[in-house]
């Protein structure tokens, strides 16, 4: 039987899907050499289908061992002698700039892990009036107002005002969790402030407060400083996108304004993704609608489906996508099989058998829907880890 080869020739090739790699894990050695590690593998990534890498928080943390989620100074990318070191855990600013240039040379985009929700490692305490709130319902005060010594004073003396002369004080925050006067741990809401109403309210009454000194994004000077930082860091590192840490816990309104400010000042094809780690796709839909769907979220419901299947005796793979964000809003879904927070010993750890991880990666990498993200922490069969080792 003859075949019409001309028909086959007219069929266009299937478009290549984008793929990102989360280029770090929680337990990377604190040897200040990670930017150099990544530089070694950049030249080969594009040829195997990796179009972008998500790099860790590159800002100065509270110590040389800090991963950056314990953020001290947004404007210190490993350039200044602060918190016990000039480089961050990941390396020096010079090494980061070299990685930036190499990535551009080989057409690999950089996504920056942005930590805006809080600040840590203050330089000194400041006295202010607070009320304690119920940990399970932060809208309820459980004490009368009284004064505490809170870690709210951020002077950034090692930076000396370079890039920004903004110093942070108690009025730039909405709460904290430690009274240095007596060592008491509680959730303290600063009197005269309010938790942001534009956050997740499906848990804790209001989930604005997460940890450390909670940044108040209703303060005009805070808004100005952080927006300026967004433009600065984008130009400094030639970023293609951003991953927003703890997106459930800081003002959705400010985030929308922040993105608009970037669009106006650095017009380009942006990619934004947020950490909204919850098993409810319905809540994700509401959040994405508020951001006009110019945003993506990690598909946590799909991740939990993978975990459940891996530990169930009679799992039905036909229903693996049920309830997942990729099923209902595929353009806004970043599909994952794990990340630094789901590793053993971390807050979001859930057991997933090894055989399921390989199958799950096949599912997300071969599916046209969703934007797959491969995790650096995978120990076998994935390019980045193997090339480095």
- For the chain, 389 residues long, the average pLDDT of each consecutive 10-residue run is 50 77 93 96 91 97 97 98 98 98 97 98 98 97 98 98 98 98 98 93 92 97 98 98 95 95 94 90 91 90 92 86 95 92 74 85 93 81 46
Neighbours of 198 (CB within 10 A): 17
132, 151: one domain: yes
Domain range for 172 is: 124-215
Q: Specify the DSSP class assigned to residue 337.
A: S
232, 369: one domain: yes
239, 365: one domain: yes
Assess contact for 289 and 258: CB atoms under 8 A.
no
256, 200: one domain: no
Of 215, 234, 264, the last residue of a domain is 215
- Say what the pLDDT of residue 47 is: 87
For 25, the 3-state DSSP assignment is coil
From 70, 113, 225, 275, the catalytic residue: 275
The CATH number assigned to the domain holding 202 equals 2.40.30.140
176, 247: one domain: no
78, 199: one domain: no
Q: What is the number of structural domains in the chain?
A: 2
Of 166, 185, 215, the last residue of a domain is 215
- Say what the pLDDT of residue 379 is: 54
168, 229: one domain: no
- Say what the pLDDT of residue 8 is: 54
The first and second tokens of residue 129, run together, are 């009036």
Is 245 a catalytic site residue? yes
The first and second tokens of residue 363, run together, are 């599912």
Of 186, 215, 244, the last residue of a domain is 215
* Alpha-carbon torsion, ordered 248, 244, 62, 164, to 10 deg: -120
112, 129: one domain: no
From 245, 279, 282, 369, the catalytic residue: 245
State the distance between the two ends of the chain, measured CA to CA, in whole angstroms.
52
Residue for token digits 């950056």? 68
Q: How far apart are CA 144 and CA 256, in angstroms?
A: 35
């Amino acid at each position: 039987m003859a075949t019409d080869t001309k028909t086959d020739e007219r069929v266009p090739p299937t478009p290549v899907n984008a793929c990102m790699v989360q280029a770090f894990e929680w337990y990377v050695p604190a040897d200040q050499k990670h930017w150099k590690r990544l530089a070694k593998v950049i030249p080969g990534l594009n040829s195997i289908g990796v179009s972008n890498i998500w790099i860790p928080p590159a800002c100065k943390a509270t110590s040389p061992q800090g991963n950056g989620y314990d953020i001290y100074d947004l404007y210190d990318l490993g350039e200044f002698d602060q918190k016990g070191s000039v480089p961050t855990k990941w390396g020096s600013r010079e090494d980061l700039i070299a990685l930036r240039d190499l990535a551009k040379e080989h057409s690999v985009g950089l996504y920056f892990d942005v930590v805006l929700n809080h600040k840590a490692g203050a330089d000194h305490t400041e006295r202010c009036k607070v009320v304690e709130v119920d940990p399970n319902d932060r809208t309820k005060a459980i004490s009368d107002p009284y004064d505490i010594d809170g870690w709210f004073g951020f002077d950034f003396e090692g930076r000396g005002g370079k890039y920004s002369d903004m110093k942070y004080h108690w009025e730039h925050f909405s709460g904290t969790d430690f009274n240095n006067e007596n060592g008491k741990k509680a959730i303290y809401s600063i009197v005269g402030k309010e938790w942001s109403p534009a956050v997740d309210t499906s848990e804790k009454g209001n989930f604005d407060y997460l940890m450390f000194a909670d940044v108040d994004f209703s303060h005009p000077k805070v808004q100005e400083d952080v927006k300026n930082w967004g433009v600065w860091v984008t130009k400094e590192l030639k970023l293609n996108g951003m991953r927003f840490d703890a997106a459930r816990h800081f003002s959705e309104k400010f985030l929308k304004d922040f993105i608009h400010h970037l669009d106006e000042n650095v017009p380009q094809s942006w990619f934004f993704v947020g950490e909204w780690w919850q098993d409810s796709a319905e809540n994700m839909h509401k959040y994405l609608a508020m951001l006009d769907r110019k945003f993506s979220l990690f598909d946590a419901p799909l991740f939990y489906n993978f975990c459940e299947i891996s530990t169930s005796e009679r799992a039905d793979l036909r229903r693996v996508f049920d309830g997942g964000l990729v099923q209902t809003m595929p353009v806004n879904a970043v599909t994952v099989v794990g990340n630094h927070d789901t590793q053993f010993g971390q807050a979001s750890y859930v057991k997933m058998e090894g055989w399921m991880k390989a199958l799950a990666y096949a599912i997300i990498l071969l599916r046209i829907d969703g934007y797959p993200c491969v995790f650096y922490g995978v120990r076998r069969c994935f390019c980045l880890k193997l090339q480095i080792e």
